[in-house]
Structure 1
Amino acid sequence: MSALWDIDTAPIPGPAASWRSAAVQRDATYRTLLNTVRDQLAAQLPVGPALPVLIPTVGFGGQSVRVLSHTMRELSRQRASVPISVVLLVNRPQTRPADDTATRARRLGAALGCDAVRFAVAEVALAQRTRLGVLRQLMLDAVLDAQQCDPEATGCVVADDDIVRLPAGTLAGLLRVVTGQARLALGPVLFDSPQSTPAAMLPAFFAADAFRALLAARSLRRLRQPGTSSRAAHAEFGDHAEAIALSCNLAVRAATVREAGGFAPLNEITNLVRDVHGLGGTDAITATWDFDPACENVLIDLWRRAVHISARRALPAYLAHGVPTVGQWRACRFRASRVDPVRVAPPDSIELVRLSTLRGRDKEALLAEISAALTTTLRYFPHDPEMIEDCLAALGLTLESLWVENRSAALSVRIRRAPGLLDRLMAVQDLVSEPL
């Protein structure tokens, strides 16, 4: 769900072994951008401790219209032990005329901001294509300089501009973890479009997305087990990090970004999580949420505790290609130097599925669809039988109600009886009428 206009050319060199590597220090383009962004932020943010929230957003073609305002409203309700600094970097190529994103963001920030949550908007017109990781590093460097924050004592939240629901206390919880025992904190994320198509009203889509979130939580628990710092364990984690790490419920200690080598230019979130895990230690990465597979309310708790981000890319990927949320980016690729059609398209009219009215063959067809979506999701995670069994149990599936095959290393799920699953999905459907 990245908000950037580049994708396909060589990036400005990113930081390597120091807070700003020698390569970046020598790069005149980066220094110019850094000075520009830092000066803009310094005029809007006071000196002192803060929790920066780093949000790049596209400033051409009206691509942020449908999401940014809601994101800012959700963030304005958050509180933490230090003031929250929401940094919005509105970026565009010099060849594209600016839209009104920066103006709208400043106006809304002035209306929503307070001492507890401050909004700062910086604009950059880029002469060359610049990958997202470089812009994230630029924001972090600039806000730390502008507010004179200590990297050792500062956590930063990596976010995007498409938050649709941010539970109270989310940012405070992330901050406690990364300024305490862990270098990086990850919490659950769900994909949702509550105003047009609530995800819970598409049961197969939601079940696979919840399964992804459950598997991610259990994968993080596995990191605390003995031997997870070994080279083999690091390689295995690296293979699955893309499925585990998502923005908007991720925070990292600022000094850890330096220690890990900075934000990678491309796939910066996945690579940051891989690199932090590579630093070693069972507490390098910590989950902010876990679950008891025996509890019947796991899906309800997940729905309430997760950060919900826009499903504007995930839904088309699923409806057009049958790809669940874990693989959406591979199904819906785009050239970000152009207007992304997903970001400007009106919401599709999709028929909702109410489980309470489903009967006979329709129910059988739904279970077959869920089975396929769960099977595809499994392919992105470690094949740990205990972990998979726990996640299936949290969905309401028992060993008697499913069939798991192991053919060559490929796992498949065939649901045979699923009253527990359907009951839990119906319970979540009952929640979607709650105000966001």
Structure 2
Amino acid sequence: MQRWRTMAEILAARERFEGPLEGWRPPRAHGVGLRPSGATEFSEQHFPLVNAHGHRLPAVVMATVVGHTDGTRAYRLSRAQVERAVEMLSPAEAYAEYDHPNLRHWRDRLLPAMEQDPGAEVVAVFVGDDAEESPDPAIDAFRAAFPDHAVAIAAAAAGAEVVRGMYGSELSHFDKSPTDFATEADIASEKAIRETIATYRPGDAFEGEETGRSGDGERSWLVDPLCGTLNYAAQTPLAAVNVALTTPEGTRVAASADPISEEIFWTDGVSTGSTTRAWVRKGGGDTALTPSPRTMLVDIQCDGAPDEPFLGGQLVADPALRRTFGPRVMSTTLALTWVAAGRRAGYVTDDRLTEGGGLEGSVHFTAPIAICQAAGCIVTDLEGNRLHTGRGMIAAADADTHRQLLDLVRPHLEATSE
């Protein structure tokens, strides 16, 4: 039996399926649900698996089975169609770097359920670019089934698509200060994110970098539609689109998208023992984020306030730091997701966004901090205390790197303290 054991083989298989589908456009979201014969109508409980902006191979496999190419549609499935989809997707299981939730759902849950309940109704749903309500109740139930992390991913993906599409074009600037501005891309990205969140969570509050806060619910979406605007405007491909949901209990879910590499870093905010609960979505699948200090590279934020002492520049030039680590300056919170992914050993910022010097409630930092913490990084203020209790932040891949960075930061922190 054929097996797809590498990423190249997975992508090649996807291309083989997509090629014959004339007019094919990958869906914004897709999933397969089952309504038991005893239920009178579909509900969100009947869709336990929602794929938002991802898992494109299962999407095109099911699209091939039902003949779907574009838009928002629902298709009733026979047992034979589900079996065919399982057979077509099974070779992907040999690629161990990805989880394969759709294959497991179709094979291990749907097929046995259809055998036990022959009168059950099984439906494949594809959601395209259109957000209008559908006359098919299965589609409405599928949209209602979106968990918070799927909303975050869908919103970040919508913003990233706008940012990617405008990259390299001539953009109008809207000055905030002599060294800071927004562009048309920032504003268009935030609009796409806001519309996506409003589609799935109309009762939630929204706070955007460009348009401010609206709504007064306890659940609030914090959005930075383009973190790294100066990089982006200068056609330097280092930027992020950050989306996080906060509640009185803390950050629930978060997504941080790299619009140029088309990666989405995300967490569902759930930690089970020592199990990693943060991933990067690329190529249609999810890979667990694994912090590591192996690169020995540390990003240091150098965009300090001009009217107060700031340690970024001094730290970059510190010979003691350069003997151990390779300092880098990205000027975007994308660097935090790279710590979670093992591409950076650490990240240091002296940003002081609150009176006490913390970063709590920041549209810039909330999403990537949550991703770092979910991946198992050590994240504290510059003195090693609990984050948000003091000035700035150190994020490190492991405890040893964190201790080294604390020692290197300490003299500069003392020298710049008022």
Answer whether TM exceeds 0.5 for this pair. Answer: no
**Higher percent of residues as helix:** 1
Larger Rg: 2
* TM-score in terms of structure 1 length: 0.28
User: RCO (CA 8 Å, sep 6+): is it higher in 1 or 2?
Assistant: 1
